[in-house]
Amino acid sequence: MLNLKDILNGISSESKKMEWGNMKITIAKELDKTQDVLFLGLFEEDKDNGKSFSKELAEEVEEAMTRKAFSRKFGEMYGTKVSSHPYKKVVVTGLGEKKDFSVEKVRQALGKMVTATKGWSFSSFCTNVVEKVKTGADAELLGRAAAEGLLLANYNFNKYLAKDKQEKKKPLSMVSLQWNGGNDFSEGLKVGRVVVEATNWVRDLVNEPANVVNSEYMEKMAKQVASQYGSVKLKVLNKAELEKEGMGSLLGVNAGSQNPPKLLVLEYTGSKKGKYTAFLGKGITFDSGGYNLKPTKYIEDMKTDMAGAAAVMAAVKVAAELKIKKNLLGVMPLCENMVDATAQHPGDIVRAYNGKTIEIGNTDAEGRLVLCDALAYTEAKYAPEVMIDLATLTGACVVALGYYAAGVMGTDTELLGKLKDAGEVSGDRVWELPFFEEYQDWMDGSISDLNNISTKGKGYEAGSITAGVFLAKFVEKAKWAHVDIAGSAYWMVDGAYLSKGATGSGVRLLSYYLMGNQEKE
């Protein structure tokens, strides 16, 4: 169980500098009659159908259930016609069976309420949902989930819309949660708010177009994080330093771009002892595919290919804000994969930081080329105990898992278990892909040490796994895991509390992982 009290005690005094969003979340012992909408949650076991609120409501709900207009199944909503109340609207919402309710269901239930309230053009609501589920629940974790469900669902990216359209997409201003428990719930709300604001910060970065977000813009964001917290330092390797270090793999990807390549290292000191944990994020600010040009319907969203780097930067931000007892590196290789006369060709051979040669079998398999240099450099320079990389790496992972989980693989069973646990409790889930011995030579080259695409079979089989195999060749001693967020970072459908577009995938995963694995001092 995560020790959220310790985490809360560590929240930085600099928290006032964080962007806290525009939703006020209040806690009240009774349902707040000043809010626009009331959502009354009903479990399958609640046979009184809300009679404690009013006899009129219970009778209407029973009648609606008789004609199958409503059931108490999770997620169903029914707008009542009862008039004996001060609210503009009273909605009964199904919570399903008590035994099936979880912190993830809390996120989903509250997220659906936010979306519904915005859809009705109201600005606030109150609900009894967290009060109903408090028995037997971890109150701090419940508070965290509540903050996440509310604030993730309240997110809008509308800065490029005309003013009248922005008005139609206004976020909620207030939510009141009925709660008659102790202070642990409100403490969890505070911690959850730190995590979710960092997540929404990433969503802004990923939703921005590529003519705004390039390597220099990302460096500007990293400088802001470093200047905000005394515990964070920034190291920047520009093109000349990358050349000096021998990062030919990263430099090859950027060869066709007018924007400069960079390697950013955010170093957070949160412990007096213990080795580094390194998070590494793929930072391709636009991926054209290079000479293996991406086709229409695939190239349009390639501004999102820096989502891994953005998530890593936000995880450092969370660690500093919560004063996590861990020494952390956030490593971000940044460049563009573009096409011009200087761009690398299929068939070129580059030499990576660790001296291994790589034949370019496909210029669109570029993410592994920037990450491999970053992995080898980080291990050589900092000797981290753990390295976890995040990348929108393969379309194969989208095909395999869709949007609702990232693929994870690696060389350390214990580390993979911790990431899976962090994913389950945070709702930012991962699904382990096999890393069998039989795969380990599938990226071997014929005229070079490695090829950046599989040399076995037809070349596309097990695409997510073979990409991970390639990365593993650049890790020697550290416990390592690779997280492929290609599907989870950018959704093409709306979810219960995440809308279409950037999701901030990886931020909650890494934050929960850090909070559950702090150094004992």
16 domain residue, yes or no: yes
Average pLDDT of the segment spanning 323-346 = 97
| pLDDT above 50 for 6 | no
Q: Which residues of 145-184 are buried (b: 16+ CB within 10 A; e: fewer)?
A: bbbbbbbbbbbebeeeeeeeeeeeeebbebbbbbbebeeb
Nearest to 442, CA basis, from 427, 462, 426, 422: 462
| pLDDT above 80 for 58 | yes
521 domain residue, yes or no: no
DSSP 301-360: TGGGGGHHHHHHHHHHHHHHHHT-SSEEEEEEEEEEE--STTSPPTT-EEE-TTS-EEE-
CATH code (residue 253): 3.40.630.10
165 domain residue, yes or no: yes
Please check whether residue 499 is in contact with residue 492, taking contact to mean a CB–CB distance below 8 angstroms: no
Choosing from 317, 323, 368, 473, the catalytic residue is 368
Q: How many structural domains are present in the chain?
A: 2
* Contacts with 165 (C-beta within 8 Å, 6 or more apart), sequence order: 158
Q: Do 333 and 372 share a structural domain?
A: yes
d(CA 7, CA 46): 36
Of the three residues 148, 163, 197, the one that is the final residue of a domain is: 197
d(CA 432, CA 129): 33
| pLDDT above 90 for 184 | yes
Q: Do 375 and 353 share a structural domain?
A: yes
Q: Do 35 and 82 share a structural domain?
A: yes
pLDDT digits (tens, 9 = 90+) for 377-405: 999 999 999 999 999 999 999 999 999 99
Q: Do 105 and 37 share a structural domain?
A: yes
Please check whether residue 195 is in contact with residue 508, taking contact to mean a CB–CB distance below 8 angstroms: yes
Of the three residues 146, 169, 197, the one that is the final residue of a domain is: 197
Q: Do 351 and 233 share a structural domain?
A: yes
Q: Do 326 and 245 share a structural domain?
A: yes
Choosing from 294, 351, 356, 420, the catalytic residue is 294
Q: Do 260 and 331 share a structural domain?
A: yes
**Predicted TM-score (pTM) of this structure:** 0.94
Is 294 marked active-site? yes
**161 token code pair:** 């819309």
pLDDT digits (tens, 9 = 90+) for 75-88: 999 999 988 789 99
Q: % helix / strand / coil in the chain, to the nearest 5? A: 40, 20, 45
Q: Do 249 and 130 share a structural domain?
A: no
Give the other-Cβ count within 10 Å of 45's Cβ: 12
Q: How many helices (H) and strands (E) does the chain have?
A: 16, 20
| pLDDT above 70 for 14 | no
pLDDT digits (tens, 9 = 90+) for 207-223: 999 999 999 999 999 99
429 domain residue, yes or no: no
CATH code (residue 62): 3.40.220.10
Question: Residue 470 sits in which domain range?
Answer: 208-401+436-515
- The separation between CA 237 and the C-alpha centre of its own chain, rounded to angstroms, equals 26
Please check whether residue 238 is in contact with residue 262, taking contact to mean a CB–CB distance below 8 angstroms: yes
Nearest to 505, CA basis, from 372, 376, 343, 397: 397
Is 368 marked active-site? yes
140 domain residue, yes or no: yes
503 φ, ψ (degrees, to nearest 5): -110, -15
290 domain residue, yes or no: yes
| pLDDT above 80 for 160 | yes
* Contacts with 67 (C-beta within 8 Å, 6 or more apart), sequence order: none
Element (H, E) at 60: helix 55-66
d(CA 410, CA 416): 7
pLDDT digits (tens, 9 = 90+) for 221-263: 999 999 999 999 999 999 999 999 999 999 999 999 999 999 9
184 domain residue, yes or no: yes
Which amino acid does the sequence have at 79? G
* Contacts with 274 (C-beta within 8 Å, 6 or more apart), sequence order: 326, 327, 385, 519
Q: Do 496 and 396 share a structural domain?
A: yes
- Residue 521 — pLDDT band, cuts 50, 70, 90? low
Q: Do 298 and 164 share a structural domain?
A: no
Report pLDDT for 21.
52
407 domain residue, yes or no: no
Q: Do 186 and 39 share a structural domain?
A: yes
Q: Do 217 and 179 share a structural domain?
A: no
Of the three residues 197, 219, 252, the one that is the final residue of a domain is: 197
**From 91-100, 245-254, 309-318, the region with the lowest mean pLDDT:** 91-100
pLDDT digits (tens, 9 = 90+) for 468-520: 999 999 999 999 999 999 999 999 999 999 999 999 999 999 999 999 999 88
Longest dimension (CA), the chain: 80
Report pLDDT for 162.
87
* Contacts with 331 (C-beta within 8 Å, 6 or more apart), sequence order: 263, 264, 265, 266, 278, 279, 280, 281, 312, 374, 377, 378
Report pLDDT for 82.
85
